[in-house]
Amino acid sequence: MHRYAVAEQVVDDLESGAAAYGFLAPGLIVFSVFTVFALLFAFYLTFREWNILEPETPFVGLQNYRDMVHDEDFRRSIINTAYFTGASVPLGMAVGLGVALLLNQPIRGRGLFRTIYFLPTITPFVVSAIVWKWLYNGDFGPINFYLLKAHLISEPLVWLSNKNLAMPAVVLMSVWASAGFSMVVYLAALQAIPDQLYESARIDGAGPWARFRYVTLPMLSPSTLFLMVMGIIGSFHVFTQIYIMTSGGPVNRTTAMVYYIYEAAFKFYEMGYASTLAYGLFVLLLAFTAFQLRLYRKADL
C-alpha cells in the first residue's frame, strides 16, 4: 500500500508541475522571444554590418566596438547623459524629499496636495514634453511672458534653441516629472521612522536641524539608495523629452545616449553599430550600479 501511495503522490506532483508550467508558458514564451532572443540577436549584430535596407550582413568582427571607442559623437552623448543625470537625479530627489517633509506634517488637505504633487509622475512623458515645449516657446510661451513681466529678462529667451539653455530646460522638465515619485517613496520612509527616535533626540537637546541630520537622513538611506539607483538607470534611458523638445539639438548639446542609439538605428539604419552602442550603454549602467552598491555597503559598514 505504501508503494501505491508514493506512486500516486509522484503522479500528483507531476500533474501539478505540468499545470504550473502550463500557466507560466505564455509569459515565458513572450519573455523568451522579446527579451532573451532580442538580447542574443542584438549581441550577434554587434559583429555584423547590417543596413536594414540591404539583405547582406557581412561579418566585421570587433570593428563596431572600435568605431564606438573612437566615435566623438558617442563620447559627446555620454557627456550629455552624465550632465543630465548629475543635474536631474539629485534635484529630483531633493525636491521630492522637501515636499515629503512638508506633506508629512499634520496640515489640512495634505491628501489632496499629495495627489497634486504626484500627478506629474503618472502623466505620460509625451504629454508632459509637449506641454513644456509650449511653455518654453520663445514667441508666446508663458515662461518668457512672466519673466518679461517681472523684468527678470529684457528679451524673450529661446530656451530649446540656445546651446546653453536647452539641457537645463530639459532637466527642469524632468525634475518636475520625477519629483512626485521621490516624494511618495520618502513619505513612506518618513512614516516608518519610530517616533521614539525623535523623542530621544529632543530629550538630548537636539534641535530641528540636528534631528533631521542625525535621525531622519540616516533612516532614509535605504530609500535614498533605491531612488538614486532607479534615477540613474532612468536618466541613462532619457529619450522622450529629448525627442519631442529638442531632437538632440542645438549642435548635439542634448543628444543623450539612447537618442544617439535611436539615430544610428532608425536615421542611418546602422543596426549593427546601434546594437553595439546599446551594449555599451548596458556596460556603463552596470558599472554605475555596482559602484553605487559598493559605496552603500561601505557606508553601511
What string of pLDDT tens digits covers the 301 residues of the chain? 455 554 555 445 555 667 777 777 888 898 888 888 989 999 999 999 988 878 788 999 999 999 999 999 999 999 999 999 999 999 999 999 999 999 998 888 888 999 999 999 999 989 999 999 999 998 889 999 999 999 988 899 999 999 999 999 999 999 999 999 999 999 999 999 998 988 888 988 888 899 899 999 999 988 998 999 899 889 999 999 999 999 998 888 999 999 999 999 999 999 999 999 999 999 988 888 888 778 777 655 4
Query: What are the sequence ranges of the domains in the chain?
Result: 1-45, 63-300
> What are the angstrom distances between the C-alpha of 219 and each of 97, 102, 195?
13, 17, 12
Helices (H), the chain: 2-31, 37-45, 63-69, 72-103, 110-122, 125-135, 142-149, 166-191, 195-203, 208-211, 217-219, 221-236, 240-245, 257-266, 271-300
> Which residues are 48's β-sheet partners?
59
Give the predicted TM-score (pTM) of the model.
0.87
Burial class, 84, CB count within 10 angstroms (exposed 0-12 / middle 13-18 / buried 19+): buried
What was the pLDDT predicted at 15? 57
Domain 63-300 has CATH 1.10.3720.10: yes
Backbone phi, psi, residue 238, to 5°: -60, 130
What pLDDT is recorded for position 17? Answer: 66
Please state, in angstroms and as integers, the Cα–Cα distance from residue 217 to each residue in 29, 91, 199, 293, following that order: 44, 16, 16, 18
Q: What is the pLDDT of residue 288?
A: 83
CA distances from 90 to 96, 116, 212 (A): 10, 21, 18
The answer to whether the peptide bond before residue 194 is cis (omega within 30 degrees of 0) is no
Q: 104: Cβ–Cβ under 8 A, 6 or more apart, which residues?
A: 187, 190, 191
